[in-house]
Amino acid sequence: MTPRAVLTYETWTLQPDREPDAEPVLYAMQCAIDGEASPPSEDFTEPQDWLLQHCGRHPSHHTYREIITRPWRAWRHST
């Protein structure tokens, strides 16, 4: 008997995980000039406060990145 391959094509769905046990969405800000970043927080005002303090210490740093860590989930559809 020779081995044979069986191929199946399946449909998957992907969406943000909003289940009660999902990991929290985390926010952070990163300075694009020196790479320093705020600690991640569930409350976006904490990274904003960090950014304003960083601007105060480094007046020439004007460019920042928002970093959002959002949990996602994927599942396969039954056929």
pLDDT in tens, 10-49: 899 999 999 999 999 999 999 999 999 999 999 999 999 9
Predicted structure pTM score:
0.78
Q: How far apart are CA 22 and CA 49, in angstroms?
A: 26
Residues 6+ apart with CB under 8 A from 26: 40, 41, 42, 68, 69
Where in the chain are the domains? 29-73
Answer yes or no: are the C-beta atoms of 57 and 66 closer than 8 Å. no
Q: How far apart are CA 28 and CA 45, in angstroms?
A: 10
